Amino acid sequence: MADVGKTPSPNQSLGVNDDNTMDKMRAKLGEARKLAENHSYEAAMSTLLKTINLCACSPSSNKHPKDKSCNILQCIKAVNSPSIDALRIVTTGPCTCGTIWPACTAPLHAEAVDELAGCLEKAGKWEAALSVALGLVRLDFASAIGYCRVVKILRQLTKTNRTPDNKSGSSVPVNIRYAKLHSPEELWALVKCFIRAGLHNCQNYRQGPETKYDIILRKMAHSLSMMESRKDPIRKLPREILSMIFSYLDTTSLLRCQRVNKEWSQLLLSDRSAWTVVRVKEPRNPGRFFHTFLSNRPGIRTLVFEDLVNSRLEASELQVMLWNMLPNLERMHLGFRKLHDRSLRPIGDIRKRPRAIPVHLSLRGTKGNAVIPLSLREHLESLDYVDGSWLDRFQKRVPLTLDGMLPRLKRLRLTGHFMDLPIDKLALITPQLEHLYLDGHNITSNWPETTDEPSVMWPRLRSLFLGYDVSCHSRCYAPLFHSPLESIEFLCDRESVMSSFFTSRTATGEVLSPLYGDFPVHMHNYPRLRVFRARMPIHPALLENILAPAARNGTLEVLDISMGADGSQGIRQGFGHAPWIQPIPAQDLAYAATESLQTLGLRDFNWAPEGHFSEFDGEPFLDFLKLFPNVHTVAVYPGKYKGVSELLFKLICMDQIKVIYQDFLSGIEWDQAWALARKYGVEVKHANAWMPLPKWPDYRDW
């Protein structure tokens, strides 16, 4: 059964052949095929023309002139147009020269034209073959046979260097030069366009069942897509795009890309931006290859050794890397993931000033590198020391001087396992510190309370973060008496820590500690404060000194505090007053009202009548929220009470709220809250203990 296609124009008719005519056409077609097999192409083409003229559609009544360029140009222009239907419109109309092409759905007619195009192709008459193949598309645009022949001829042209019509031997046959196809790539683009148009016309306009040519056309499309997917992106994409792609790959992936072929290797070596960050997991025995690897990549700015426990890297090799191989190094991480007796102590003996001076050093491991290289300490601007006791060991190697042992250090993160940290020494050796992150340390201080306040207690400090595991001696004195602070975060709930940092003196020198209820507190305020978070409840009088100046100046953006109610023990002890009375925030904290606040968090609150601890009243929180008209994110951690879900549902329905952090909802209540939040366009997130804020960057973020 032949493909059934288009409706003919008024000047065309469909061929309806009787059995006698069809038998004659089959005989002639068989004769022509035998002649073609014997390479008698001229005789075969003559027989095929006689076969075509036997069709009842009378194709010989209106022949196209000898010049076929108009037919080819018209079809190429149509198939290259943005409209997918342009080729269909052209094939159903007359040629640009005025010739009306025949339209016929007779299968023997189409087979004869297809054989004629094949004979012309084998005879090297490419222009005539392509014109006849396009005439086959015009014969029935909804049949796949014409598209298959056109694509076959075009694919053959991409492989042809010298043909009977191309005596010059150029890469593209001369017979299609007038179509402005100057390269095999342009021919491939034309092949894809014809396949796309053919699939569209056959699928949307074919009225009969599929034939073998529909299957062939789909296989051609699949083969072409496979060839496209296997093309080397190095040869196609511009250098800027490749650099962007390589910038997202880790070191292992880059090394694998470099081993693809020589061209990939040369490109990666020449792209300095691809090797700005190099991460080495376990350099067991770095030898000559590793040195060559670093020497060929002078653009390295960040070098990470994730685990040096089992490494044989010595101080001399590190000195060679810093001196000769890495002139642009800015950040370096030396990691010891496991506790081990082996220490990389010789690193501290690098005294000669290296060529590369990293300004960000990251050290990890209690039993690992305990001493900062002396040649680097004067230039460090950022230091991360994770899981290690750094200060005591540092002091053993370097004498303490008031001039500052880390004079340029601006960012410092120290975490450990409940080791003592003398805060007074830390302040003396880091006079320019701007950001401090402490966790896992026991803060100590040798400043007596009777002396004047030290003038070197971080006058430029902008952010202070104390983690969950920070402790402090009961009478430690570490006052924050300056005003540049922009972020204060106390995630620990120890009263001694709060007292140490908020202790102050009067004009007469009297020490006032909020821990013992000394009010009014004479302390410096923080007019630039943007973030304030505290896990322990703080008396409103002390909070006023901290928050009121920033609220008046319009700088406060994040506020997360506790009200002091405990679901298991009722009202607990608070910081700054004894006994603790849970404040009404809309009244007692009215001084914090500001339009600049965007994130509000409240924890440990319940204003239910005393003696009914199983009940929950959260309405004062909604009243408190009215003081901040621009708040869009809230963190709600009141405790485990039955009525908390009702408060959360009310928050979801508020127009100004877009994000809610909580740890209460589960089961059916979570499903109900999720459905309600989807209706109002609110994100409800489950976060244990704390609303997440941007974390302190470490070597994993480099």
Can you tell me the mean pLDDT for 565-578?
Answer: 46
State phi, psi for 381 to the nearest 5 degrees.
-115, -20
Using CA atoms, how far apart are residues 84 and 222, in angstroms rounded to an integer? 19
Lowest mean pLDDT among 226-230, 254-258, 432-436, 611-615: 611-615
Identify whether 579 is preceded by a cis peptide bond (ω within 30 of 0).
yes
The model's pLDDT over 218-275, given as tens digits with 9 standing for 90+, comes to 998 888 877 776 777 777 788 888 888 888 888 888 888 888 888 888 888 888 888 8
The model's pLDDT over 115-125, given as tens digits with 9 standing for 90+, comes to 999 898 888 88
Q: What pLDDT does 313 receive?
A: 66
State yes or no: pLDDT of 7 exceeds 70. no
Using CA atoms, how far apart are residues 246 and 271, in angstroms rounded to an integer? 9
Q: What pLDDT does 182 receive?
A: 61
Using CA atoms, how far apart are residues 223 and 190, in angstroms rounded to an integer? 15
Can you tell me the mean pLDDT for 493-514?
Answer: 68
Q: Residues in the chain, how many? A: 702
State yes or no: pLDDT of 5 exceeds 60. no
Strand segments, DSSP code E, in 528-645 are 531-534, 558-562, 565-566, 570-571, 599-603, 633-637
Q: How far is CA 64 from CA 68, 131, 301, 425, in A?
A: 8, 10, 70, 99
Sole residue written with tokens 């909804």: 142
Strand pairing of 511-512 and 504-505? antiparallel
Interhelix angle 144-159/107-122, nearest 10 degrees: 10
State yes or no: pLDDT of 369 exceeds 50. no
Q: Identify whether the C-beta of residue 363 lies closer than 8 Å to the C-beta of residue 388.
A: yes
State yes or no: pLDDT of 567 exceeds 70. no
Q: Identify whether the C-beta of residue 217 lies closer than 8 Å to the C-beta of residue 198.
A: yes
State yes or no: pLDDT of 583 exceeds 80. yes
What is the third-level CATH fold of 235-275?
A: Monooxygenase (1.20.1280)
Helices (H), 608-661: 619-625, 644-652
Q: Identify whether the C-beta of residue 338 lies closer than 8 Å to the C-beta of residue 309.
A: yes
Nearest to 55 by CA among 17, 95, 112: 17
Nearest to 48 by CA among 4, 96, 114: 114
Choice between 571 and 313, residue whose per-residue pLDDT is larger: 313
Supply the mean pLDDT for the chain. 77
Sole residue written with tokens 């508020």: 654
When computed from its CA atoms, the radius of gyration of the chain, rounded to whole angstroms, is 41
Strand pairing of 565-566 and 570-571? antiparallel
3-state DSSP assignment of residue 573: coil
Q: What is the largest CA-CA distance in the chain?
A: 127
Using CA atoms, how far apart are residues 106 and 3, in angstroms rounded to an integer? 8
Amino acid at 137: V
Using CA atoms, how far apart are residues 57 and 184, in angstroms rounded to an integer? 38
Give the residue extent of every domain in the chain: 19-229, 235-275, 525-702
Residue 596: pLDDT band with limits 50, 70, 90: very high
Q: How far is CA 410 from CA 295, 527, 696, in A?
A: 31, 21, 14
Lowest mean pLDDT among 199-208, 276-285, 335-344, 611-620: 335-344
Measure the CA angle with vertex 235, ends 230 and 240; round to 5°: 120
Using CA atoms, how far apart are residues 559 and 602, in angstroms rounded to an integer? 8
What is the third-level CATH fold of 19-229?
A: 1.25.40
Residue 255's contacts (CB-CB under 8 Å, 6 or more residues apart) are: none
Handedness of CA 316, 319, 324, 329 (dihedral sign): positive
The model's pLDDT over 463-490, given as tens digits with 9 standing for 90+, comes to 999 888 888 865 566 666 666 889 999 8
Residue 559: pLDDT band with limits 50, 70, 90: very high
Residue 66: pLDDT band with limits 50, 70, 90: confident
Sole residue written with tokens 């952090």: 661
Residue 77's contacts (CB-CB under 8 Å, 6 or more residues apart) are: none
Choice between 143 and 445, residue whose per-residue pLDDT is larger: 143
Q: What pLDDT does 285 receive?
A: 66
Choice between 241 and 310, residue whose per-residue pLDDT is larger: 241
Residue 104: pLDDT band with limits 50, 70, 90: confident
Residue 202: pLDDT band with limits 50, 70, 90: very high
Residue 382: pLDDT band with limits 50, 70, 90: confident
Q: What pLDDT does 165 receive?
A: 46
Q: What pLDDT does 348 receive?
A: 45
Q: What pLDDT does 447 receive?
A: 62
Using CA atoms, how far apart are residues 306 and 337, in angstroms rounded to an integer? 7
Residue 279: pLDDT band with limits 50, 70, 90: confident
The model's pLDDT over 315-347, given as tens digits with 9 standing for 90+, comes to 666 766 766 777 788 888 877 665 444 444 444
| 242-243-249-251 Cα dihedral, nearest 10 degrees | 120
Q: Which CATH class is domain 525-702?
A: alpha beta
Residue 547: pLDDT band with limits 50, 70, 90: very high
State yes or no: pLDDT of 308 exceeds 50. yes
Can you tell me the mean pLDDT for 441-469?
Answer: 72
State phi, psi for 670 to the nearest 5 degrees.
-65, -40
State yes or no: pLDDT of 30 exceeds 80. yes
Q: What pLDDT does 314 receive?
A: 66
